[in-house]
């Protein structure tokens, strides 16, 4: 691991445990030479070839070198206006209105560790010897613009963290029109583009297609990362799949509007950029001011998507998520939302809680409807005072009663929003995002509070802190249920209106920093109508996210499988809900619902008082089992075995770091008449070791134990035996013997 600089050849060689990333200064411009499997670094200078192209690729130094054109040079952070016609990583408008700005090398430093990103979520280190950071300082002296490109390589992770800080060193204003976090010019175009797309209740489905000439990519213009696209994109070399081949992945540590693009240009190379969406964005940089982009995480895997995912998982689980809950087993919870919706009182909640406790549940979460006069979604957001009609003794009494039962108390809030029908809105109608004189477009009967304003952020944070102090609250579900419209702020001058959406995110991050610091013992789970803001930015503050409002076990196979491409299983909330399922109307067996949900942060979201005795016994058994495998699920390595996007079957498994324990989950959606006798090949085991395999949760007895070779399980496979019927599922536990 480390960063080497060859001063003579002007080459930076960045190394992670298994990958290399090489930059060379060509006439002061940082050129991208290589990213891939680790190489030793002999003759790196020979990696870059330039030839003279026809006159449509301009030559900045025609008398010295006619082969050099910015239009063809693979670059690290390309600009616009001086001969590169591909899409730029940044664009700056100077005081004279012009935009032709070029940046070139000024200096660099290599530091141990990883400096934090001011005001933004980012991966971190706990000791300086865990990482090394290159800061490459680029300048344009005419414009007085400085950009510091930052690259961190980790000692234990095959990942590179990139970000950029712009500084206006001139005495005039300038305007940033785009400021991507990372750009890489890959030397080929024969890649597949893979990303995660969907909609509310159908989040993060895997999409894969061949790259074609021109621009392609994904973005959000919603002021949130969104259900529709995740800020993640990967390029797969020909033949790359789950277990093999080169994968180049990009993920943005940000929760607002983003863009991730791949441009295949005329000579068969591909430029990938990821960062803040330049659409409807600009940022006024006054003399002396600076602008920090969010962080992008770049992962190269020679072991296909599986290797990529395990790198993201380990990095995010250990060096993105923070706080005491990062390494603690997460509680099994019961959430009252699908059990009662808005229709509850203290008696009903305590009945639910008692039923939950008797099943082995550890945390009771009170969802929406406990404050103001919120009997439906038409009012009260912003009025964070308990509704004494429903909870006469307030949150404290409820919390204490739950604690007496032996349950922890968790609470839902939606702090970023305001209902037009609320005291807060009547008092402060200018506190929401809006454009004077225009309609204030509602969604779910609510408006977005203007978190670009410090006073609004402080007031909201005060209210939420008061709530958290008012009762023994140990868990918070932080929800956010609409996207931004009329993105304007009453507190910003006209020339800064297009900063509002990004300032909102900075305000939100400030609030989250404050609240999570003030309540270090509280476990926070973020949510946005399910998975509408499932991104690394939120995971920095809150180590888990409500994966989707869709709790149907079959739908969840795809949602959780897709999510697992990037995000660790310990970040995914997953609940067993009632049947027929409230989102899709499907009836699936309790076992399947439990098996899907225990492949995440396990919980229930149903009326536990309405379960039959038989169901209760089953649920008790599921919870007991989950508690046993919980460390494996939350901290083990995750391997995908069969994809729900490719057929009727899904399988995945968890393996402990020392490979002594594993849990294998298998799902078959529809029964097949006279079907094949299947074996599923396992992964991640020690081929030299033997494993005792116990089918679990098939019956309360847990099944009989048999001993298998790790090699046999991986190379020949585990035979799948399943009862007749649709929606079959199975769990096996493996223990090294």
Among the listed residues 549, 591, 607, 637, the single catalytic one is 549
- What Å distances lie between residue 223 and 255, 506, 670, 708, CA to CA? 8, 12, 39, 51
Q: Does 576 bind ligand DGJ (CB under 6 A)?
A: no
- CB–CB of 374/382 below 8 Å? no
Cα dihedral 716, 721, 724, 726 sign? negative
Number of chain residues interacting with ligand DGJ (CB under 6 A) = 11
Question: Of the two residues 304 and 562, which places its CB atom closer to ligand DGJ in the complex?
Answer: 562
Question: Of the two residues 302 and 529, which places its CB atom closer to ligand DGJ in the complex?
Answer: 529
Report, in Å, the least distance between residue 89 CB and ligand DGJ. Answer: 35
Report, in Å, the least distance between residue 348 CB and ligand DGJ. Answer: 17
Convert residues 18-57 into a mask of x (bound to ligand DGJ by CB under 6 A) and - (unbound).
----------------------------------------
- What Å distances lie between residue 684 and 651, 653, 660, CA to CA? 14, 9, 11
Convert residues 318-357 into a mask of x (bound to ligand DGJ by CB under 6 A) and - (unbound).
-------------------x--------------------
Report, in Å, the least distance between residue 412 CB and ligand DGJ. Answer: 5
Report, in Å, the least distance between residue 527 CB and ligand DGJ. Answer: 5
Among 158, 295, 303, 549, binds ligand DGJ (CB under 6 A): 549
Buried b or exposed e, range 55-94, using 16+ CB within 10 angstroms = eebebbeeeeeeebbbbbbbbbbbbbeebbebbbbbbbbb
What's the token pair of residue 573? 């909330």
Question: Of the two residues 201 and 308, which places its CB atom closer to ligand DGJ in the complex?
Answer: 201
- CB–CB of 180/293 below 8 Å? yes
Report, in Å, the least distance between residue 530 CB and ligand DGJ. Answer: 5
479 in catalytic set: yes
Cα dihedral 344, 347, 349, 355 sign? negative
What's the token pair of residue 519? 């309540």
Q: Does 412 bind ligand DGJ (CB under 6 A)?
A: yes
Task: Determine the length of the chain.
Answer: 737
Question: Of the two residues 170 and 526, which places its CB atom closer to ligand DGJ in the complex?
Answer: 526
If DSSP codes are grouped into helix, strand and coil, which group holds residue 711? Answer: helix
Question: Of the two residues 529 and 644, which places its CB atom closer to ligand DGJ in the complex?
Answer: 529
Question: Of the two residues 245 and 369, which places its CB atom closer to ligand DGJ in the complex?
Answer: 369
Helix 553-563, helix 590-597: angle, nearest 10: 20
Report, in Å, the least distance between residue 390 CB and ligand DGJ. Answer: 15
- CB–CB of 524/538 below 8 Å? no
Minimal CA–CA distance to 525: which of 482, 572, 562? 572
Among 300, 425, 546, 638, binds ligand DGJ (CB under 6 A): 546
Report, in Å, the least distance between residue 205 CB and ligand DGJ. Answer: 18
Report, in Å, the least distance between residue 337 CB and ligand DGJ. Answer: 5
- CB–CB of 182/162 below 8 Å? yes
| Residues 480-509 interacting with ligand DGJ (rule: CB under 6 A) | 481
Among 132, 263, 367, 421, binds ligand DGJ (CB under 6 A): 367
DSSP string, 23-85: EEEETTEEEEEEEEE----SSGGGG----PPPTTS--SSTTT-TT--TTTS-BSS--BSSS--
What is the C-alpha separation between 143 and 551, in angstroms, rounded? 54
**Beta strands, E only, 78-158:** 90-93, 104-112, 131-140, 145-154
Give residue number: closest CB to ligand DGJ.
368
Question: Of the two residues 546 and 635, which places its CB atom closer to ligand DGJ in the complex?
Answer: 546
Report, in Å, the least distance between residue 563 CB and ligand DGJ. Answer: 15
How many C-beta neighbours within 10 Å does residue 491 have? 16
Report, in Å, the least distance between residue 581 CB and ligand DGJ. Answer: 14
Buried b or exposed e, range 433-447, using 16+ CB within 10 angstroms = bbeeeeeeeeeebbb
What is the C-alpha separation between 541 and 120, in angstroms, rounded? 10
Report, in Å, the least distance between residue 343 CB and ligand DGJ. Answer: 13
Element (H, E) at 185: strand 174-186
What is the C-alpha separation between 567 and 605, in angstroms, rounded? 23
Question: Of the two residues 345 and 455, which places its CB atom closer to ligand DGJ in the complex?
Answer: 345
Among the listed residues 479, 552, 607, 637, the single catalytic one is 479
| Residues 505-544 interacting with ligand DGJ (rule: CB under 6 A) | 527, 529-530
Q: Does 666 bind ligand DGJ (CB under 6 A)?
A: no
Question: Of the two residues 480 and 557, which places its CB atom closer to ligand DGJ in the complex?
Answer: 480
Helix boundaries (H) for 320-472: 337-340, 346-359, 394-405, 423-427, 454-469
Rounded (to 5) percent helix, strand, coil in the chain: 20, 35, 45
Convert residues 85-124 into a mask of x (bound to ligand DGJ by CB under 6 A) and - (unbound).
----------------------------------------
Question: Of the two residues 368 and 607, which places its CB atom closer to ligand DGJ in the complex?
Answer: 368
Looking at residue 512, what DSSP letter applies?
Answer: H
Convert residues 460-479 into a mask of x (bound to ligand DGJ by CB under 6 A) and - (unbound).
-------------------x
Question: Of the two residues 412 and 665, which places its CB atom closer to ligand DGJ in the complex?
Answer: 412
Among 303, 368, 387, 637, binds ligand DGJ (CB under 6 A): 368
- CB–CB of 317/328 below 8 Å? no
What is the C-alpha separation between 332 and 347, in angstroms, rounded? 22
Binding site residues, ligand DGJ, CB under 6 A: 337, 367-368, 412, 479, 481, 527, 529-530, 546, 549
Active site members: 479, 549
């Amino acid at each position: 691991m480390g960063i080497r600089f060859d001063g003579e050849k002007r080459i930076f060689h960045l190394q992670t445990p298994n990958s290399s990333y090489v930059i060379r200064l060509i006439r002061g411009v940082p050129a991208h030479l290589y990213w891939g499997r680790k190489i030793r670094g002999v003759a790196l200078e020979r990696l870059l070839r330039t030839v003279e192209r026809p006159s449509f690729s301009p030559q900045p130094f025609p008398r010295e070198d006619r082969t050099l054109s910015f239009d063809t040079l693979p670059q690290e952070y390309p600009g616009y206006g001086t001969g590169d016609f591909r899409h730029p990583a940044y664009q700056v408008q100077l005081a004279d209105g012009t935009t032709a700005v070029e940046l070139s090398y000024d200096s660099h430093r290599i530091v141990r560790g990883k400096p934090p990103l001011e005001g933004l979520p980012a991966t971190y280190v706990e000791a300086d010897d865990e990482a090394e950071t290159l800061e490459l300082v680029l300048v344009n002296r005419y414009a007085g613009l400085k950009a510091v490109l930052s690259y961190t390589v980790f000692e234990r992770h095959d990942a590179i963290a990139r970000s950029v800080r712009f500084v206006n060193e001139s005495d005039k204003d300038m305007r940033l029109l785009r400021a991507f976090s990372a750009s890489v010019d890959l030397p080929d175009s024969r890649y597949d583009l893979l990303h995660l797309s969907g909609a509310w209740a159908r989040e993060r489905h895997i999409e894969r297609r061949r790259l074609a000439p021109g621009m392609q990519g994904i973005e959000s213009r919603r002021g949130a990362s969104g259900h529709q696209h995740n800020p993640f994109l990967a390029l797969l070399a020909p033949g790359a799949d789950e277990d093999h081949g080169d994968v180049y992945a990009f993920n943005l540590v940000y929760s607002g509007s983003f863009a991730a693009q791949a441009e295949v240009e005329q000579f068969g190379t591909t430029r990938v950029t990821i960062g803040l969406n330049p659409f409807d964005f600009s940022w006024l940089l006054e003399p002396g001011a600076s602008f920090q982009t969010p962080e992008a995480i770049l992962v190269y895997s020679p072991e296909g998507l599986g290797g990529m995912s395990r790198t993201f998982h380990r990095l995010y689980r250990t060096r993105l998520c923070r706080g005491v809950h990062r390494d603690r087993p997460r509680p099994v919870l019961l959430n009252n939302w699908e059990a009662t919706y808005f229709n509850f009182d203290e008696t009903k909640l305590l009945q639910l809680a008692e039923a939950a406790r008797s099943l082995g549940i550890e945390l009771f979460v009170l969802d929406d409807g406990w404050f103001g006069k919120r009997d439906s979604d038409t009012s009260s957001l912003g009025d964070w005072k308990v509704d004494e009609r429903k909870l006469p003794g307030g949150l404290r009494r409820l919390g204490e009663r739950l604690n007496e039962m032996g349950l922890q108390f968790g609470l839902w809030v939606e702090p970023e929003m305001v209902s037009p029908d609320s005291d807060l809105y009547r008092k402060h109608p200018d506190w929401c995002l809006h454009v004077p004189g225009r309609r204030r477009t509602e969604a779910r009967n609510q408006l977005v509070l203007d978190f670009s304003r410090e006073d609004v952020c402080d007031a909201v944070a005060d209210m939420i802190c008061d709530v958290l102090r008012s009762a023994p609250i140990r868990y918070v579900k932080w929800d956010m249920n609409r996207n931004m419209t009329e993105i304007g702020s009453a507190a910003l001058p006209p020339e800064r209106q297009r900063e509002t959406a990004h300032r909102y995110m900075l305000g939100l991050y400030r609030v989250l920093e404050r609240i999570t610091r003030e309540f270090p013992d509280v476990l926070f789970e973020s949510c946005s109508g399910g998975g509408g803001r499932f991104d690394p930015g939120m995971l920095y503050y809150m180590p888990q996210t409500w994966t989707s409002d869709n709790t149907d076990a079959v739908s969840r196979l795809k949602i959780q499988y897709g999510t697992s491409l990037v995000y660790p299983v310990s970040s995914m909330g997953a609940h067993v809900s009632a049947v027929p399922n409230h989102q899709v109307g499907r009836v699936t067996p309790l076992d399947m619902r439990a098996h899907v949900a225990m492949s995440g942060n396990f919980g229930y979201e149903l009326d536990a008082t309405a379960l039959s005795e038989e169901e209760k016994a089953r649920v008790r058994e599921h919870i007991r089992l989950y508690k046993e495998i919980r460390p494996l699920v939350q901290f083990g390595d995750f391997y995908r075995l069969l994809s729900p996007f490719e057929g009727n079957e899904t399988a995945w498994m968890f393996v402990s770091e020392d490979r002594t324990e594993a849990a294998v989950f298998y799902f078959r959606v529809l029964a097949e008449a006279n079907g094949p006798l299947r074996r599923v090949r396992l992964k991640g085991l020690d081929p030299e070791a033997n494993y005792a395999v116990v089918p679990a949760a098939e019956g309360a007895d847990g099944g009989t134990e048999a001993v298998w070779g790790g090699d046999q399980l991986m190379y020949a496979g585990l035979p799948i035996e399943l009862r007749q019927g649709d929606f079959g599922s199975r769990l096996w536990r493996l223990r090294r013997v």
